[in-house]
Structure 1
Amino acid sequence: MPPSSPIDIDRLRAAQLRLDAMGPRLTGTESHRMLVEEVAAELTGLGLEVRRDTQTFERWDLPTSADGLRIDLTDGSVAVSSAFPYSGITGPAGISAPLVLLNTKRPRWSRAKGAIAVIEVPHIDVPRKFLVSEWGPITTDEMVRNPVLSATLLGPKLAKARKAGVLGVIAVWRDIAPDNARGQYLPFTEPYHDIPAVWVAGDDAAKVLAAARTGQKATLVLDATLHPGTTTDTVWAVSPGSSPRETILVITHSDGTNGAEENGHLGLLELARHAVAQPHRRSYVFVLTTGHLRIPAVSKHGQATSTWLEAHPEMWKGEGGQARAVAGIAVEHLGALGDTEDFAAGTYTLDATPEPEVLYATSREVHDIVAPLWRDIGSGDRRIVAPSPVVHFGEGEPLFERKIPTVALVTAPQYLLALRNSDAPTHVDVDAMTKQIQSFRDVLDAFDGTDSAAFGSVVSWSAFAKFSTLLQMMQVLSRAKK
């Protein structure tokens, strides 16, 4: 194979700045549609035929003004950290009702019937061993801290609240710095609940708790809007190989909250440029998935890419004349820099060093292929991990579930799901991004030259391992709800 041309770092920097200028690209919004069309045009410009799969759903949009997202107490207003996505709507007047503080550990939602429920949600440390597995021995009792985990595992159960007749919910973050809580688009994997809910933190959370303890009346305003019939496209293209009956899938998603979540298309496009510049054995299938931030609307089971896989078995399944995917690559959160929180002091800062990478390899053989090729970005942690018995984060998950040997980058700083407008500075290291894309390009070449049997079998876990891990997690979560 001829030597590859160097990656144009100036092109990457300009593309990242363009992405930052767009601001959040929530599923089905105009900024999201614009990004999808730009990527489709670039793939077409490379000489690839772009195909589309269209999804239709009801879009929930955030309020367009600060006045549309607020809590008014008897002695003034408090700042809302963020809205609970796809919770509900109040209209511009909001809902006015007494506040009822519920027990964190075992909330009785019926106590807040006809009222606004207030419930504390602890921001917790989760043992890393529950979230990823190691290809080598586990040498530390490392903990992982991320609002995605806290909100998903411990956030209020809105379906139960609505069924009990609760009018609205205020989720009070505990043990989190206010700047960390600001704009968190969490949890992002739930269906529409038809009950308005918001998050508060810091001094504002203390004011809400004090008001709830005395049963004060409050007004909750979440002037979100619903847009039925919204369409959104997954776009994909194939770079044909000399042996088209075998494919390598290259996956990322197009919707995102900020410049790191999601910029994976920058890597996908660089790999597409690499593909069309030289012959290759396998056909490369480049998939820009939609719906990662609206999974319940586009997927029956698993992350959003599962919908594309179910629609196109001819590209991967290997049955009855179908092409077979010998391997996959999932590219997310390129060049993500780290962050530091001191919740006791109430401080949260963005770091100048890369966040430690979360890089999955779903078989021992894939690990052994990737390990010597992956460049050091200076994050201080180069472990290549396996999925845990209970979770595989990111859009590599559908490939893992279908036993396609895959490498997947899904680095997760705490701000990953925080909405950042176009005036906020980017928190991406383009030099680190370039190294990661170079690594992915080398991995793609290596995958193309590897015999299919040499990818090994995708790691699978016994029912006992899954049950044991879930039981341990439940014990940790129970202790957190003190």
Structure 2
Amino acid sequence: MGTIDQERVAAELELLRRLGPRLSGSAEHAALVEHIAADLRGAGLVVAEDRHRFTRWDPPAAPRLTAGGRAVPIASVFPYSGAGRVRGPLVRVRRGRWSAARDAIAVVHVRNRELPLDAIVPVWKGSAPWGALAHPLIAATLAGLGLGRAKRAGVRGVVFVWKGLTEDAARGQYVPFTLPYQDIPAVFVTEDVAGDGELDVPADLVDAEMKTVWTVVEGTSAPRETVLVVTHTDGTNEVEENGHIAMLAMARDLVRTPPRRTVVLAFVAGHLRIPAVSDHGQAASRWLADHPELWRGRAVAGLGVEHLGAVAPDLLYASTAAMRDLVAAHWSGTTPLRVSKPGPLIQFGEGEPLHQAGIPTISLVSSPVGLLSTEPQPVDLDLLHRHVDSFRALLRRCDEADDLGVVEPAGAWDKAKAVGRIAVKLPGALR
């Protein structure tokens, strides 16, 4: 397999830094996709593509909030919330009682509490259970679910006030990112506001397009069987998303040493704008739905490659015991090694659609607090190198292994038990 090309890795990271945020369908996103496609073609591979048209919400360059005539710093704008300038009294809303802020600007506290991660992310035997996790994505998503009700209640705009998140950590958070367009301007701040307010979110709604690209490397002796490898290309910083770095290294490996099975490398678009490509799951859900000929009745294994070198414990999923054993033998990441199982209710990341399709899968989706920040983020370069080499080794093992296990779909009883665990653990965390 050879050692990793560290100069190539450094060049890819520098490209991500230079491009900055690659929000779905933006010029920066398109530039990264074209770079990936050119690299694959340069290796002698044929690149296929899907084009997705959608309405893009462009973040405003200069959002503005005033309270009592005083300018209030905005940590971030709620993605795809709304656009325009609204005025009115700033009214504190508690427990979702949006009617209290009719014809006003609602002020809602968002507490970045620690939540029991082990309630939704189980682990394989021999791995330590997950502890509590406080992540702004979870808190912002839960808070954002109320925006539709706010709009219907006649609220003019919403100011979400972070509690339990520092000013530095709050800055640039592109959260939440899974909700449809809300048509009501909303922002996040880190200080309480009161008095008469004015909120200006001069965002644009434009027709846009983004591309998913993939390449197929034909197998030599078992071409009907496929191994799928997926990442996404839209992202916010050097960690989210950098999975293409490992996959381009895999592509070069496959050209040098053709695989026994057919390998499909897919670089999907839409992770940061899932409603534009799918009404459920992840961005890869759309790609799987569009191309069943590449996996249905053919796929024997899958890899989900995300967040290489993230400064956080590895959140590494294995969907069968055989895949867990491959991880134990070939993974070099953060220590101690913890191997998670896909939960009955949820699995994070683009490996989830592969698992839902019944494909034995290993996927990495580590989640530092700054994962979705548009501010530059640290990358552990040594860890990234080990992540890349681990995925390269796992791809070879998936190509060679005779039996990678059978995915056991979660039944109604499994889901009911998971709901029960959450019901027991979550209320205490939310007090």
TM-score norm. by structure 2 comes to 0.96
2:424 matched to 1:470?
no
2:148 matched to 1:159?
yes
| Structure 1 match to 2:310 | 336
Give the superposition deviation at 1:140. Answer: 5.3
SS in structure 1 opposite 2:282? coil
2:149 matched to 1:171?
no
Q: CA–CA distance in 2 between the matches of 1:394 and 1:356?
A: 15
Deviation string for 1:218-270 (max 9, x for gaps)?
00011111102x11100011111122111100100000000000000111100
| Structure 1 match to 2:217 | 239
Q: CA–CA distance in 1 between the matches of 2:71 and 2:143?
A: 26
| Structure 1 match to 2:72 | 78
2:226 matched to 1:226?
no
Q: Verify the 8 A CA contact 1:109 1:164 in the aligned structure 2.
A: yes
Gaps of at least 5 residues in structure 2 are none
| Structure 2 match to 1:110 | 99
Instruction: Give, as a single letter, the amino acid of the residue that structure 2 aligns with 1:438.
Output: D
Cα 1:239/1:143, change in 2 over 3 Å: same
| Structure 2 match to 1:56 | 53
Q: CA–CA distance in 2 between the matches of 1:136 and 1:443?
A: 21
1:301 to 280, 296, 306: 280
Q: CA–CA distance in 2 between the matches of 1:219 and 1:480?
A: 34
| Structure 1 match to 2:299 | 325
Q: CA–CA distance in 2 between the matches of 1:139 and 1:51?
A: 41
Cα 1:6/1:287, change in 2 over 3 Å: same
Cα 1:469/1:138, change in 2 over 3 Å: farther
SS in structure 2 opposite 1:428? coil
Deviation string for 1:180-215 (max 9, x for gaps)?
1111111000000100011111xxx23x1xx1xxxx
1:125 to 114, 124, 132: 114
Cα 1:137/1:369, change in 2 over 3 Å: closer
Cα 1:472/1:110, change in 2 over 3 Å: farther
| Structure 2 match to 1:401 | 356
Instruction: Give, as a single letter, the amino acid of the residue that structure 2 aligns with 1:326.
Output: V
Deviation string for 1:41-97 (max 9, x for gaps)?
001111111001000000000112xxx21211124111011111000001xxx2111
Q: CA–CA distance in 1 between the matches of 2:167 and 2:424?
A: 27
Q: Verify the 8 A CA contact 2:120 2:422 in the aligned structure 1.
A: no
Deviation string for 1:315-359 (max 9, x for gaps)?
0002xxxxx01000110000112xxxxxxxxxxxxxxxxx21011
Q: CA–CA distance in 2 between the matches of 1:158 and 1:75?
A: 25
Give the superposition deviation at 1:139. Answer: 5.0
Give the superposition deviation at 1:163. Answer: 1.0
Q: CA–CA distance in 1 between the matches of 2:188 and 2:362?
A: 35
Instruction: Give me the identity figure in percent.
Output: 44
Give the superposition deviation at 1:165. Answer: 1.1
Cα 1:225/1:476, change in 2 over 3 Å: farther
SS in structure 2 opposite 1:241? coil
Q: Verify the 8 A CA contact 2:242 2:307 in the aligned structure 1.
A: yes
Deviation string for 1:417-450 (max 9, x for gaps)?
0112xxx4x5112221111111111111111111
Instruction: Count residues with an aligned counterpart.
Output: 430
Q: CA–CA distance in 1 between the matches of 2:255 and 2:130?
A: 45
2:17 matched to 1:20?
yes
SS in structure 2 opposite 1:133? coil
Map 1:62-461 → 2, pairs under 5 A:
62-64=59-61, 68-90=62-84, 94-103=85-94, 106-136=95-125, 142-155=131-144, 157-201=146-190, 205-206=191-192, 208=193, 211=194, 216-228=195-207, 230-242=208-220, 243-318=222-297, 324-337=298-311, 355-375=312-332, 377=333, 379-420=334-375, 424=376, 426-451=377-402, 454-461=403-410
Q: Verify the 8 A CA contact 2:123 2:129 in the aligned structure 1.
A: no
Q: CA–CA distance in 2 between the matches of 1:415 and 1:381?
A: 22
Instruction: Give, as a single letter, the amino acid of the residue that structure 2 aligns with 1:293.
Output: L
Q: CA–CA distance in 1 between the matches of 2:14 and 2:307?
A: 15
| Structure 2 match to 1:345 | none
Gaps of at least 5 residues in structure 1 are 319-323, 338-354
Q: Verify the 8 A CA contact 1:122 1:154 in the aligned structure 2.
A: no
Q: CA–CA distance in 2 between the matches of 1:356 and 1:279?
A: 33
Give the superposition deviation at 1:5. Answer: 2.4
Map 1:38-53 → 2, pairs under 5 A:
38-53=35-50
Give the superposition deviation at 1:141. Answer: 6.8
Q: CA–CA distance in 1 between the matches of 2:264 and 2:98?
A: 48
Instruction: Give, as a single letter, the amino acid of the residue that structure 2 aligns with 1:331.
Output: V
Give the superposition deviation at 1:475. Answer: 5.6
Instruction: Give, as a single letter, the amino acid of the residue that structure 1 aligns with 2:366.
Output: T
Instruction: Give, as a single letter, the amino acid of the residue that structure 1 aligns with 2:383.
Output: A
Q: Which runs of 4+ in 1 moved over 4 A?
A: 137-141, 474-482
TM-score norm. by structure 1 comes to 0.86
Q: Verify the 8 A CA contact 1:129 1:388 in the aligned structure 2.
A: no
Q: CA–CA distance in 2 between the matches of 1:54 and 1:140?
A: 41
Instruction: Give, as a single letter, the amino acid of the residue that structure 1 aligns with 2:242.
Output: N
Structure 1 vs Structure 2 CA RMSD: 1.5
Q: CA–CA distance in 1 between the matches of 2:259 and 2:127?
A: 38
Give the superposition deviation at 1:138. Answer: 6.8
